[in-house]
Amino acid sequence: MADDANEGISADDWAAALAEQAPAGGAGGAVQPAKVFQELKADALGGGAPGRLDMILDIPVHMAVELGRTKIAIRDLLQLAQGSVVELDALAGEPMDILVNGCLIAQGEVVVVNEKFGIRVTDIITPEERLRGINK
């Protein structure tokens, strides 16, 4: 029921609602965040924003391409054998979902290159669309 109430709310609506909130102290000034982490300095990283990005480039993430989904009873799952066919909810030719750490980030189509399967990215999910997906 809460999902239905939030379905029409955009990121701008959330920002406006947060801006209207009075600070906890009631003094009219902005509340300062606690300094838990050391602040990153551009000169300490050898430049501006690109240096900041370099710090995270080697962090591994889990990327998955989802062909489709289905619900199946354990009874039916235990009866699967080599050669069994499991019906999925996706139709042939539909774009496949590309997930990074379980979050939908893009859609694409299957390609074969040198006898190996790959995926060609056809659509990148915008941040606004990702936020809408979180509310569902």
CATH assignment of 61-136, given 3.40.50.10800, 3.40.640.10, 3.40.50.300, 2.30.330.10?
2.30.330.10
Q: What is the pLDDT of residue 81?
A: 94
Q: What is the pLDDT of residue 25?
A: 47
Chunked mean pLDDT (size 10), the chain, 136 residues? 51 66 51 63 53 81 90 93 90 88 90 87 88 70
Length of the chain (residues)? 136
pTM of the model: 0.52
Q: What is the CA radius of gyration of the chain?
A: 23
